[in-house]
Structure 1
Amino acid sequence: MFGDSIVDTGNNNYLETIVKVNYPPYGKDFMGGKPTGRFCDGKVPSDLFVEELGIKELLPAYLDPTLQNQDLASGVNFASGGAGYDPLTSELASVISLSDQLELFKEYIVKLKGIVGEERTSNVLASSLYMVVAGSNDILNTYFGGPLRKPHYDVPSYTDLMVSSASTVVQDLYKLGARRIGVFGLPPIGCVPSQRTFAGGEQRNCAEKYNEAAQIFNTKLSAELNSLNSNLLNARMVYIDVYSLPLDVIYNPKNYGFKISNKGCCGTGISTTMHFLLIQLSSSSTTLSCVFLFLLLWIAQALINLPHNETIPAVIIFGDSIVDTGNNNNIQTIAKSNYSPYGKDFMGGKPTGRFSNGKVPSDLFVEELGIKELLPAYLDPNLQTEDLTTGVTFASGAAGYDPLTSELASVISLSDQLEMFEEYIEKLKEVVGEERTSTILTNSMYTVVAGSNDIINTYFTALLRKLQYDFPSYADLLVSYASTFVQELYNLGARRIGVLGVPPLGCLPSQRTLAGGMQRECAEEYNEAAQILNAKLSTELDSLNCNFPDATIVYIDIYNLPLDLIYNPEKYGFKIADEGCCGTGTIEVAYLCSYSCKDVSEYVFWDSFHFTEKAYRLLVHQMLKKNMDKFFCDDSNC
């Protein structure tokens, strides 16, 4: 563990600095009520990580004079309260800078070799989890709180400086043997009680300029880590979002069993600056740092990629533009996005045929599961042989369950996607043999994403089906097609199949414009149609689960969280949810999208139909978190 007071378990006790907490009431709920130098009433995230992972009870400070040899083999903490990515931050507080923490880590490596030997040390270094938690002190103390950086930098350029330093730290860790590195983003620091007091006005509201600075840094840090993932072989660099959930806890404390989130428990709770995350919520002795328990197992899952590569060898995806990573580039259709501004935030700003500003759910699935960085399109002429063993996407933008939907758009129908999958199976057999192919097919995760184009384009826009069916009967037709598709997947060897419902289609910017009236409200007719289809689809998949007991077929809800995201964007770190970033944001999609907004991080939607990468990340993370255990449950769902 490297970083600042969030994760310092006592290193500052042994420094000449005023940034110390080894006295009451700190530690009042720690073992025996003992103040240990932890900036909290009890344990801090460092301890909670090792506890949740079953390694040990506490993560000791490296400078602790009572540190035991056995602790070296199972982890220590180099963090120092008051530290930051900017070297000036640590200098001003007279604490251990990140570069000095790395020097301590080098010393630790030598000690570890003396205890367990060279080979075992190499294994420990390569297999361990590394966490870096910093940046808040840079923004709060050095930039906004002091006179030394603000005259020379605006927020964007200062966050560039911070990200450059963070990148150097990660690369230095890699050179020293680290391979699984999680780097925390910044929390909503404008909502910290002290910043509410200093910059939140008379009402002590969250200070938006601080939150905006945190979001700018987080976006840049995430992009940099993605780039490092591509450049550093055999490594897993994970950006860990600690903005969205803490913001929700702060705005909705009662949802999490707390009462007070605008004051701390310590002192008056409104102006202490010793530790900006001491938000003690008075119905419990648990501080906000303990809320990190919500994140721990998922973070560990994101970093420990080997078990996932063994358990889920590949991800195979079928569907529409939500998960198409470039198949439509290679067919004759207007449903393409292989031109700017699509891909403006992708690696190198490259338009790849993904219908977003960056990654799409296909990529985020394999990234979250630790399989690989991107999920390639099956029709990509540059597809590598090794990609067959870890998964591809057959999805085609504008496709649907209804064959007429794909025909109208001249794209790859789901039945044609299945034929491509059969071709893929034969190629896979040539690469890895019959037996390994069977194992990959059985253990892989299959995802089906369709239905939106059927409702919006074929039923409500083209009217070709509306003349034949009322919506409930059309939904029955779609569910019949979906059921047949899932059964055919099963017949080809699939056993873990997730089928996504459809989102609140009436709240897409395009549908607000076309059917939401003068005020561009969510079009309820479309949302009701989505809910009807989702209910019928869920019931059908439950039935298939009973009929195929050796398979796990999971309905995945993507209606409720997106609806909350759209109605409450600020809750998740966004500002604009009724327009897309691309063009006017009200109607443009695909070739009509010719320019983009200035700050895509503010937007839930990229164009008038598709989400931004930032929104997709939130949705995919929650989707996997809620549904992964279902794919490994041995109990019957009947």
Structure 2
Amino acid sequence: MNTMSIMLILSLALTPFVVQAYDINKLRQLAAENNVTCMLVFGDSSVDPGNNNHLTTDSKGNFPPYGEDFLNHQATGRLSNGKLAPDLIAEVFGYKRIIPGFLDLALKKEDVEHGASFASASSGYDDLTANLSNVLTLSRQLKYFQHYKIHLRQLMGVEEADKKISNAMFLLSMGSNDFVMHSLGARRLVVVGLPPLGCMPLIRTIKGTTNCVDSYNQAAFSFNSKIKAKLEANKATLGNIPPKISFVETGKGCCGTGTIEYADTCKGQATCPDRSKYIFWDAFHPTEKMYKILVDEALETIGDILVP
């Protein structure tokens, strides 16, 4: 693939919308025809499958009630009740059930060959953000990716490993270092924009309101607009969020009071009886249902980057 294909997903629209249909079989066919058999993930808590379990930090979710709806009800470190977006995307493409963390000590050969996540909860656009929480900076994530490339070459040989990485789907859930990723071999890159931060339960609680905080949403919108402009300059494809979605509870999370608890403060808390009605699992992170809705809508556009 000679040109970089990029998609921007403006995630977590908090107004009602209806998901459009898509053809899973066609997507799987495109992935197979173009040898997209590997997914490599970078970013923050939205895509961290448990790398922080191996770090000395409170920013982790390897305890109940996280993972209540995951395989075997296991709390893997994913800050949700179930799977994250990378797991769901890979599952649709049919080449991986879940995307493991690179720091997982139980990684097997087939895991390495089919991708990994280098993401770290509480990481941010500035390395200082990650350092404050003692988690992986994006710089460190990229260094681990270099280690991954070396290991993959040892397993498969240089030519085959480099071909796999060149054909891989890269997912960056931070939004600011896509061109760094391209220089390291990324050719199919999905970039996740900032959600409407002012609608997160934690932000509403901190600001003492039950309504979305406009100033935070405007900041996110401004950031996404600038990222979109940069991506369009590099032949980007914009993945539009549909106009309607249906949830009963949009202002609180499912864990505890739903207003303040997340990560360590969610530990051992009671959860809502019907998480399908909730956008958020805790006061900051979405439920698996919300991730699935976003992925379902994004898949049609993701299909565009599978074609050389």
Q: TM-score, normalised by structure 1?
A: 0.43
1:335 aligns with 2:10: no
Mapped pair 1:308 → 2:15: no
* Counterpart amino acid of residue 300 in structure 1: N
Q: CA offset at residue 516 of structure 1?
A: 5.3
Matches within 5 A, 1:178-197: none
Paired position in structure 2 for 1:392: 116
Asked whether 1:535 is paired with 2:225, we answer yes
- Shift, 1:371, TM fit: 1.5
For residue 596 of structure 1, the aligned residue among 259, 271, 274 is 271
Q: Distance in 1 between matches of 2:137 and 2:238?
A: 21
**2:147 is aligned with 1:423:** yes
> Which string of whole-angstrom CA distances, capped at 9 and with x for unpartnered residues, describes residues 111-162 of structure 1?
xxxxxxxxxxxxxxxxxxxxxxxxxxxxxxxxxxxxxxxxxxxxxxxxxxxx
From 201, 207, 216, give the equivalent of 1:526: 216
Q: Which amino acid aligns with 1:596?
A: T
Tell me if structure 2 keeps the 8 A contact 1:324–1:362. no
Matched residue SS, 2:116: coil
Aligned match of 1:612 = 287
The structure that has the greater radius of gyration is 1
Q: Quote the residue 2:186 is aligned against.
A: 494
State which of 584, 594, 598 in structure 1 corresponds to 2:257.
Answer: 584
Counterparts of 1:306 and 1:446, CA distance in 2 = 19
Correspondence 1:184-223 to 2 at 5 A = none
- Paired residues for 1:545-564 under 5 Å: 545=234, 556=239, 560-561=241-242
Structure 1 residue 626 displacement after superposition: 2.7
- The alignment partner of 1:392 has SS state of strand
Deviation at 1:400, TM superposition (A): 1.0
Once the 2 structures are TM-superposed, how far is the Cα of residue 555 of structure 1 from its aligned partner?
5.5
Displaced runs of 4 or more, over 3 A: 553-557
Q: 1:627: how far off?
A: 3.5
Q: CA deviation at 1:342?
A: 0.3
1:8 counterpart residue number = none
Supply the distance in 2 between the matched residues of 1:436 and 1:421 (Cα, whole angstroms).
17
Q: 1:516 to 1:310 in 2, by over 3 A?
A: farther
1:507 paired residue number: 199
Displacement of 1:383 in angstroms is 0.7
Count how many residue pairs are aligned between Structure 1 and Structure 2.
Answer: 289
Whole-Å Cα distance in 1 between the matches of residues 25 and 297 of structure 2? 15
1:556 shift after superposition:
5.0
Question: Quick check: which one's strand share is greater?
Answer: 2
CA distance in 2, matches of 1:378, 1:508: 29
Corresponding residue SS for 1:502:
coil
Alignment of 1:104-503 (within 5 A): 248=18, 295=21, 297-301=22-26, 305=28, 308-311=31-34, 312-450=36-174, 482=176, 485-503=177-195
* Structure 1 portions without partners, runs of 5+: 1-246, 250-293, 452-481, 547-552, 566-570
Q: Supply the distance in 1 between the matched residues of 2:30 and 2:297 (Cα, whole angstroms).
A: 20
CA contact 2:188–2:305 (8 Å) conserved in 1 = no
Q: What do the CA deviations read for 1:481-530 (whole angstroms, capped 9, x no partner)? A: x2xx323322222111121111111111111112253xx10000100000
Letter paired with 2:258:
G
Tell me the SS of whatever aligns to 2:117: coil
Q: Using the alignment, how far apart are the partners of 2:205 and 2:129 within structure 1?
A: 22
Query: Residue by residue, what CA displacement relative to the aligned partner does 1:365-392 show, whole Å, maximum 9, x if unpaired?
Result: 1012222100000000111111112111
1-side partners of 2:264 and 2:248: how far apart?
Answer: 26
Q: Deviations over 1:292-341 (max 9, x none)?
A: xx63x524336xx4652452121111000000001000111110100000
- Is the contact between residue 62 and residue 77 of structure 2 (CA under 8 Å) also seen in structure 1? yes
Alpha-carbon distance between aligned partners in 2 of 1:383 and 1:595, rounded to the nearest angstrom:
32
Q: How far has the Cα of 1:630 moved from its partner?
A: 4.0
Counting aligned pairs with the same residue, the percent is 40
What letter matches 2:283 in structure 1?
S
Q: Distance in 2 between matches of 1:600 and 1:589?
A: 16
Cα distance between partner residues in 2 of 1:310 and 1:248: 30
Letter in 1 for 2:221: Q
Q: Distance in 1 between matches of 2:157 and 2:265?
A: 46
The Cα of 1:410 is off from its aligned counterpart by 0.9
Distance of aligned partners of 1:248 and 1:353 in 2 relative to their CA distance in 1, 3 Å threshold: closer
Larger helix proportion, structure 1 or 2?
1
Alpha-carbon distance in 2 for matches of 1:322, 1:309: 27
Distance of 1:487 and 1:621 partners within structure 2? 26
Amino acid at match of 2:61: S
CA distance in 2, matches of 1:495, 1:541: 13
Is the contact made by 1:345 and 1:357 (CA closer than 8 Å) also made in structure 2? yes
Give deviations 1:377-435, integer Å, cap 9, x for gaps.
00001111111121110000011111111111111010100000000000000111111
CA contact (8 A) 2:237 2:301 kept: no
